[in-house]
Amino acid sequence: MPKIVNHENRRHDIAAAACRAIAKHGLDDVTLVQIARESGHTTGMLAHYFPTKWDVIIAALELMHVRIEKRLSLRLNSQAGDMADLMRDVLPLDEERRAETAAWLTFWGAALKRPDLLEMSNQTHLDWRALIRRCLLVSTPSSANWEEPAMTHVVSSIVVFMDGIYVKALTRASAYPENVQVELLTTHIHSLLRWADERSCQSASHLANSSSATSRNLKSAPQKRG
């Protein structure tokens, strides 16, 4: 009997191999031969699923984003833990995540020169922000009381911090080992959450004081006689 091939699994395997090849050789320099070698398939097999080098690269980048979303979604659907613990899952702490991160860093540089990749980068950025917001709402119940400017600030700060730790973890690995990455992440996120909670309390207090003052003014105002 002919062997039954799961084509979706094979596309996934090739895309995962492309992630590793991109991490090793860079986005512009990686070749189909290198991706094929990494995947254990021939270039002809790759061409059956991805007509061009950029088709397989885009599939690899999409896979990286899906992996991150799946990791966090699994946590959110089970016992979420706190926000810092959730974000720990997307730090480059093992070989697979380091390869993903290295590929993303090369992708950012390439996106500056290719409008199609820049558009993809922009959409991925929006999706990433939405995922972080979802993680905050699930892991941090008090975030439901934050005003929109505070929520936006916290999301933006986490995005920028993660981008920075990705760069440092790969380019200065000896200075930013796994335990340092986790410690910095935890400190940063806990500080952000405290700031947002304090801001929310101040806003609530200000609103309560304003309402109380308005009520007193209404009571002390001269009553018109009929």
Enumerate the domain spans of the chain. 65-202
Report if pTM > 0.85: no
In the predicted model, residues of the chain with pLDDT beneath 50 are: 1-2, 213, 226
Count of Cβ atoms closer than 10 Å to residue 5 Cβ: 8
So what's the pLDDT on residue 130? 96
DSSP states along 137-204: HHH-GGGGGS-HHHHHHHHHHHHHHHHHHHHHHHHSTTTS-HHHHHHHHHHHHHHHHHHHHHHHHHHH
So what's the pLDDT on residue 214? 54
Dihedral-angle region of residue 50 (phi above 0 means left; psi in -120 to 50 means alpha; beta otherwise): beta
So what's the pLDDT on residue 226? 47
Q: What is the CATH number of domain 65-202?
A: 1.10.357.10
So what's the pLDDT on residue 77? 81
In this structure, what DSSP letter does residue 222 have? P
Using only C-alpha atoms, the chain has a radius of gyration, in whole angstroms, of 24
The H or E element that residue 48 is part of is helix 43-49
In this structure, what DSSP letter does residue 3 have? P
So what's the pLDDT on residue 207? 54
So what's the pLDDT on residue 74? 86
Cα–Cα distance measured from residue 39 to residue 65, given in angstroms and rounded to the nearest whole number = 20
So what's the pLDDT on residue 36? 92
Cα–Cα distance measured from residue 87 to residue 76, given in angstroms and rounded to the nearest whole number = 11
The span from the first CA to the last CA of the chain, in angstroms, equals 100
